[in-house]
Amino acid sequence: MKLIRIQLLVLFSAVLMFNCGGKEEKKKEVFSYEKTNSQAENVSNSDDANVANVVITGNDLMQFSTKEIKVKTGQKVRLTLRHVGKLDANIMGHNFVLLKNGVDLVTFATAAAIERDNKYLPKDSQDIIAHTDLIGGGQVTTIEFDAPEPGTYEFLCSFPGHYAMMRGNFIVE
């Protein structure tokens, strides 16, 4: 009986040694994304010094490339949103929505989440200063608008649930 226990212990130890080491794990395929800056690109166009060219990216990990955008009051803002991911707009769509001061972002996002037919924007909303189209992986959209009065405004992606991670401050100086 004692011999059987020792044999089982040796056998169990051998099985553990062979199963725990020496194997090469297969690498899992993962998406790769363009490296993005922590700040949005904000470059003045030499043709028109009063235009703020802002480029912001969104990816399949529900991330904007920045959480802060700064412009000057009265400037024309040319904002370009690039979806650097691969997923379709129906699965991982992104947009940029700039809210007016005093609008509760969570309340707005909750109302937007049920507006699929309106590209996740509440119908007839008076809470929006500007917004882009809803785009999917590899797509780009650009909008132009005049910067509002000085202050800090919030922006978000209004695709359902994205606002939790895809939001930031739009600062007008």
Question: pLDDT per residue over 56-65, tens digit each?
Answer: 999 999 999 9
**Domain of 163: which CATH number?**
2.60.40.420
Strand, coil or helix: what is 97? Answer: strand
11 within a domain of the structure (yes/no): no
115 within a domain of the structure (yes/no): yes
Residues 6+ apart with CB under 8 A from 37: 65, 66
Number of domains in the chain: 1
Residues 6+ apart with CB under 8 A from 151: 101, 171, 172
20 within a domain of the structure (yes/no): no
78 within a domain of the structure (yes/no): yes
Residues 6+ apart with CB under 8 A from 35: none
Question: pLDDT per residue over 152-171, tens digit each?
Answer: 999 999 999 999 999 999 99
106 within a domain of the structure (yes/no): yes
Q: How far is CA 93 from CA 80, 149, 173, in A?
A: 15, 30, 30
24 within a domain of the structure (yes/no): no
State the DSSP code for 135. Answer: B
